[in-house]
Amino acid sequence: MISNRQFKDAIAEQFARVAKALGSPKRIELLDLLGQSPRTVEALAHLTGMSMANTSQHLQVLKGAALVEADKVGPFVTYRIVGPDVASLLAAIRSFAEARIAEVERLTREFLEGREGLERLDQKMLAGRVRRREVTVLDVRPAEEYQTGHIPGAVSLPLGELRKHLGKLPKNGEIVAYCRGPYCVLAVEAVEILRKQGFKAFRFEDGVQDWRARGYPIAAGHDLPSPTRKSSQRRPSP
């Protein structure tokens, strides 16, 4: 039989395994990416700008803390988060940092300052308009992330393909772009491109996980709607 002290120390050590695994900016980024869709080590290395070796090492730490799992098909190893509770854990960390660490707000303000269409909007009201499909919603993440899960009614138009399809987007309506959440820059770039071309575009801060946390359903699949889908005639300003 172990003593009270031994039990307390042993339990705390297990909790610390998770905290230690999260104690790296790159591992936080890896979990954020895997929360969008499963990915191979090669894909994750490319997206994070790390070497294959470093990416693999970080993933092994996350796996050891039961945050991710992996499957091997041929020469490729594909990782995924173990469940939605991992996304909830990341959201809790984000919320705590936003509330307690002033640097988060300062960095965000400096990044968005002077960028047209990227000012803070009433996200609750904008979410209602997105849900009612009163605006054209663009999912500018890679197609595989859209296929894994997306906001219902959203059009898949990855950032790298946006310029090629500008002519298919409605000029007389409002466009809302979203990506992986409030600290993802894909939607920021998309709105800048659209604004320069004369579109009335705004950034929606919610990602898929944020949308799910609001209690709204998530769509999934390979059916990619056309960018020419018409929006509702109701167009109050966001």
CA distance 170 to 110: 31
**Residues contacting 152, CB < 8 A, separation 6+:** 216, 217, 218, 219
Q: For the chain, how big is the Rg over CA atoms in Å?
A: 20
Distance of CA 78 to the CA centre of its chain: 19
Tell me the three state secondary structure of residue 219.
Answer: strand
**φ, ψ (nearest 5 deg) of residue 214:** -75, -10
Give the active site residue among 179, 187, 194, 208: 179
- Based on the residue annotation, tell me whether 184 is a catalytic residue of this protein: no
* Paired residues of 40 in beta bridges: 78
Residue 237: closest CA among 155, 153, 173: 173
In what side-by-side order are the strands of the sheet with 136-139? 155-156, 136-139, 174-178, 200-203
Catalytic residues: 179
